[in-house]
Structure formats: C-alpha cells, structure tokens
Amino acid sequence: MKAIVTVVGKDRVGIIAGVCTALAGFNVNVLDISQTVMEGYFTMMMAVEVSGCTMPLGELVTKMDEIGKEMGLSIRVQREDIFEAMHRV
C-alpha cells in the first residue's frame, strides 16, 4: 500500500535526512520525493510504500506526528487513495 507524506516547516539543515531516517527505521520505502523552499519555509511531499512497515499505518501516523513536533515540523501521513480523494477538484 502506498501513502503520501507531507512535511512543512521553517527551513533548516537536516530536514530531509531526519524524516527519511525516521521512515527507514519503520521499514517505509520512499518511492518519490519533491521538495522546495519558499520564503524560508520548507515543503516536501513523498510517495512511500508502507507494505513492509513495522507497525500499522495508524501507529505510523502517530509516530511521524510526534517526530514532526520534536523537529519543529508538521508531518502528515495519509493513505494514497484518501489523499487523492481529498484533493480532487
């Protein structure tokens, strides 16, 4: 199953490394990544494969939210199908 991870926060060194290290620790594979910095704010979207995750998706959502708070970021994880349904026009 695929999921979408979004990350937003003040830009600083190590954001990509920190988020990707955390995901790798849960056996989540990054499939695609897009990031940009806009007026000092970092934004990133990642498509990830969560089939091999070491915990249920709900727990991953909670863990990544906690990690985001520790890093001063907003990190959200959503199933790909739900993300797509929410962003249809």
Among 26, 12, 14, 17, smallest CA distance to 77 is for 26
d(C-alpha 52, C-alpha 29), whole Å: 8
pLDDT at 89: 62
pTM of full prediction above 0.95: no
For 17-44, how does the pLDDT look when each residue is reduced to its tens digit (9 = 90+)?
999 999 999 999 999 999 999 999 999 9
Between 56 and 86, the higher pLDDT residue: 56
Does the domain at residues 2-86 carry the CATH identifier 3.30.70.260?
Answer: yes
CB 52 within 8 A of CB 29: yes
Q: What is the mean pLDDT of residues 41-68?
A: 97
Q: Is 57 within 8 Å of 77 (Cβ atoms)?
A: yes
Stretch among 13-17, 19-23, 79-83 having the lowest mean pLDDT = 79-83
